[in-house]
Structures are given as C-alpha cells and as structure tokens.
Amino acid sequence: MKMEELKQKILKEGMAKDSDILVVNSFLNQQVDTKLMENIGKEFAAYFKDKGVTKILTAESSGIAPALMTAANLGVNCIFARKQKSLTTDDNSYVSTVYSFTKQEMKNLIVEKSFLNEDDKILIIDDFLANGQASKAMIALCNQAGADVVGIGIVIEKSFQEGRKILEEMGYDVYSLARISKLEEGKIEFLD
Amino acid sequence: MKMEELKQKILKEGMAKDSDILVVNSFLNQQVDTKLMENIGKEFAAYFKDKGVTKILTAESSGIAPALMTAANLGVNCIFARKQKSLTTDDNSYVSTVYSFTKQEMKNLIVEKSFLNEDDKILIIDDFLANGQASKAMIALCNQAGADVVGIGIVIEKSFQEGRKILEEMGYDVYSLARISKLEEGKIEFLD
C-alpha cells in the first residue's frame, strides 16, 4: 500500500478529540510536512494520470498544499475557491454554498468564471472528506461552468460518515489516501 | 534578472484597479500558475539558502503556494498562520493582529505554540508586501516564540507603500521578486 507513510503519520501525530474531530495540524492543517505533501502529490498524480486532467480545484486553505503538489506532478495549474469576498474578487464569479463543520458556519465557495470552462477536466483535491458537502459544493461550481469533474482525491476520509457514498452515487471516482473507520478520544482506526 | 518571468506575467495578466489594488487572481491569488510558482520557490530558496532556515512561515491563503514551493526547495516544513479559529485550533497558540486592506477588517493570525520555538530560524514568505502589517504580525508571532526571523521573501512588493522601509528599519532582509513603483487604473510600472 502506497500511503502507509500517511497512515503512520496520522497514528503518530493525529489527535482524535472525539468521535468526529481528528486534529492533524502538525502536518496538514497548519504545519505542512513538505516531504509527505510531495509524496501525496505524486500518489494522486499517479492515480489520476490518465484522466486528461486540465486543472486541479480545491478550497482554501488546507486543500491548497495537496492540490498544488498534485498539480506540479500532473503539469497543470490549480485553483483554490475562495471562502470570502475581497476587494480583488471579480463579480463575474461562480458561487456555491457549504456548511463548515469545523468552523460551525455557512461559507460561500467562490471561483471567477474565467478560471473554469466547459473544456476543463477538473480533478478536485481536498484535505478531508466527511459528509461530502465541500466536494459537492466544488462539483456545483464545475457544473455551473459546464466543466467535467474527472475525479476526487482526498487526503483523509472519515469513512464512518456518508461523504464517499454520496459522491459515488453521483458517479464520481473517489480516491482517498487514508480511510478512517472509527474515531474516539485518543483512538484512531483505519478501514484497511 | 531572475524573475523577469514574474514581471512579464504581472504585465500580461495583472489588472491595476486603481492606485492601490493589483489583481493577480489568474496566477497567484486564486488560480496558481504551478510552473511559475515552482520557479518562485527556487528563487527564494537560492537567495536564502545560507541562512540556516528551519521553517517557512506564511499566512493563509495566498501565501501558502509560494511558501510551500520554497519549503520544498529548502527541504524544510512550512507553517501557515490561520486567520480564524476552528474546532481544531489549539488554545495553546500564539496570536497577533493584522488589518486586511483587501478584506477591510481586522484579522487574527494564529499559530500553535508547538510549531514555533526558540531554536527556529524562520523565513517569512508572503504574496504581497504593502504597508508591512502582515509581515509585522508574523514577526510578532516569532518574537512570542523566541524564534529568529532570518529573512522575508515577498512575491510582489508595492514599493510605493511603506512596508519595505518599516521592515528594513527593524533590521530585516527583505527580498521581493517584483517591485512595483506605481499603479494606476490599467497601468503597472516596476521600480527597475
């Protein structure tokens, strides 16, 4: 199995706070383990290399590092959907909505229309898959643009939540590098 | 000059909205030009390679791509300061405050204490330097940890604002890849 390195990192440095929340700030969500992230990028690129990917789409902020490393290995650009408007946001943007569980609030996902078009074959990359809402919001952005979603790459999947099932029922190929079957305070179990 | 590629990109795709705001969403602030970002990482790494850098520090979100590519070239990890607390934020964190001009609001910058310590030699990387407030806030986080800031790498400097002067007067080595002397609607001028 390719990403044994990631699993070992999760076991060593991840902290299960309860049955829902896994803290991996030391290598993914605040500090980035550069070497691990390079290997994550290589692994996603190897899996999706024959899909004709033209661009990677992720959401700020924790998706950016794995998305960029995957983009570098596939030789394509990446886009990070913004969650907040700024003075530089183009009014001509696609917008979808997602509930952030870890921030306990609704967020918009915003991508300028000029960055997604109907010729694009989009690979969605994200740090976590739980209930699938973030991926669904990114799929919605691609649908608005008429772009094809050719796959979804996830660093850590909470397999005890319904995200994978929802996305697979929509017809998407979901490739998760680590699949967690159970969290409880101080304990992390993998699916395989 | 090394980063002629960046300047040409700014001239071709950047949009000066007024005398303050430069929109570079097509390659830096929303879409990331992966190849350009790899070269930016190489250039920062080459300039700061003898400084004994142990970690890169940036702030989410637009700093992450150049910071990660620099980290990859220096063989170190990087940290992105968070601007918003979440359920995974450790209470044991350093916090400083910065005014975001493009978002027109005060933001905290938050880094877990365990990721910065007094043995660290920190290279700060950011997408823009304007009035220097974001860099000062990151310096403050390092000061709280007793970590050394060994340099500041900036992708695009608005040289007509006071950021560089403030940071140089504090004694820091500021290396900016593109220095803009003047913006007006539809027009961008470089310092050299």
The pLDDT tens digits for B63-79 are 999 999 999 999 999 99
Considering only the beta carbons, identify the residue of B33, B61, B78 that sits closest to A32.
B78
Contacts B72 to A, Cβ<8 Å: 34, 38
* pLDDT surpassing 60 at residue B20: yes
Query: What CA–CA distance (Å, rounded) separates A137 from A96?
Result: 6
Of A13, A25, A35, which to mutate for an interface test with B (greatest number of B Cβ within 10 Å)?
A: A25
pLDDT for position B105 = 87
Q: Would you say B133 and B124 are in contact if contact means Cβ atoms under 8 Å apart?
A: no
**Per-residue pLDDT reduced to its tens digit, B103-138:** 888 999 999 999 999 999 999 999 999 999 999 999
Mean confidence (pLDDT) of chain B: 95
Give percent of chain B with pLDDT exceeding 70. 99
Work out the pLDDT band at A86, boundaries 50, 70, 90. Answer: confident
> How far apart are the CA of B87 and the nearest CA of chain A, in angstroms?
5
Q: What's the mean pLDDT in A119-144?
A: 97
> How far apart are the CA of B172 and the nearest CA of chain A, in angstroms?
24
Cβ of residue B19 closer than 8 Å to a chain A Cβ: no
Contacts A38 to B, Cβ<8 Å: 72
SS3 A69: helix
pLDDT for position A44 = 98
* pLDDT surpassing 80 at residue B81: yes
pLDDT for position A104 = 84
pLDDT for position B33 = 98
Beta strands in A27-120 (DSSP E): 31-32, 55-59, 77-81, 93-100, 105-112
Entry pTM: 0.97
Alpha helices in chain B (DSSP H): 4-13, 34-48, 64-74, 133-145, 163-169
CB-based contact A102 B115, cutoff 8 Å: no
Ranking A102-106, A119-123, B54-58 by mean pLDDT, the lowest is: A102-106
Q: Nearest-CA residue of chain B relative to A57? A: B31
pLDDT for position B1 = 54
Q: What's the mean pLDDT in B88-98?
A: 90
Q: What's the mean pLDDT in B138-149?
A: 98
CB-based contact A32 B79, cutoff 8 Å: yes
Close Cβ partners of A22 (under 8 Å, ≥ 6 residues apart) = A10, A14, A15, A16, A156, A158, A180, A183, A188
* pLDDT surpassing 90 at residue B161: yes
Mean confidence (pLDDT) of chain A: 95
Interface of A with B in 29-88 (CB under 8 A): 29-35, 37-38, 60-61, 64-65, 68-69, 71-72, 75-82, 84, 86-88
- CB pairs < 8 Å spanning A and B: 123
Q: Nearest-CA residue of chain A relative to B28? A: A79
pLDDT for position B90 = 83
Contacts B101 to A, Cβ<8 Å: 87
pLDDT for position B57 = 98
Task: Using CB atoms within 10 Å of the CB of residue B5, give its burial: 0 to 12 exposed, 13 to 18 middle, 19+ buried.
Answer: middle
Q: What's the mean pLDDT in B80-87?
A: 90
Cβ of residue A122 closer than 8 Å to a chain B Cβ: no
Task: Using CB atoms within 10 Å of the CB of residue B127, give its burial: 0 to 12 exposed, 13 to 18 middle, 19+ buried.
Answer: buried
Cβ of residue A21 closer than 8 Å to a chain B Cβ: yes
Residue with tokens 């739980």: A130
ipTM over 0.85: yes
Of A21, A86, A128, A185, which to mutate for an interface test with B (greatest number of B Cβ within 10 Å)?
A: A86
Cβ of residue A92 closer than 8 Å to a chain B Cβ: no
Cβ of residue B18 closer than 8 Å to a chain A Cβ: no
* pLDDT surpassing 80 at residue A77: yes
Q: What's the mean pLDDT in A32-49?
A: 98
Q: What is the dihedral of CA B92, A84, A156, A124, to 10 degrees?
A: -160
**Per-residue pLDDT reduced to its tens digit, B43-63:** 999 999 999 999 999 999 999
pLDDT for position B47 = 98
Q: In what order do the strands lie in the sheet with B31-32?
A: A187-190, A174-184, A148-158, A121-129, A55-59, A77-81, B31-32
Query: What CA–CA distance (Å, rounded) separates B192 from B190?
Result: 6
The angle formed by the CA atoms of residues B87, B92 and B95, to the nearest 5 degrees, is 90
pLDDT for position B181 = 97
Which stretch of DSSP H or E encloses residue A141? helix A133-145
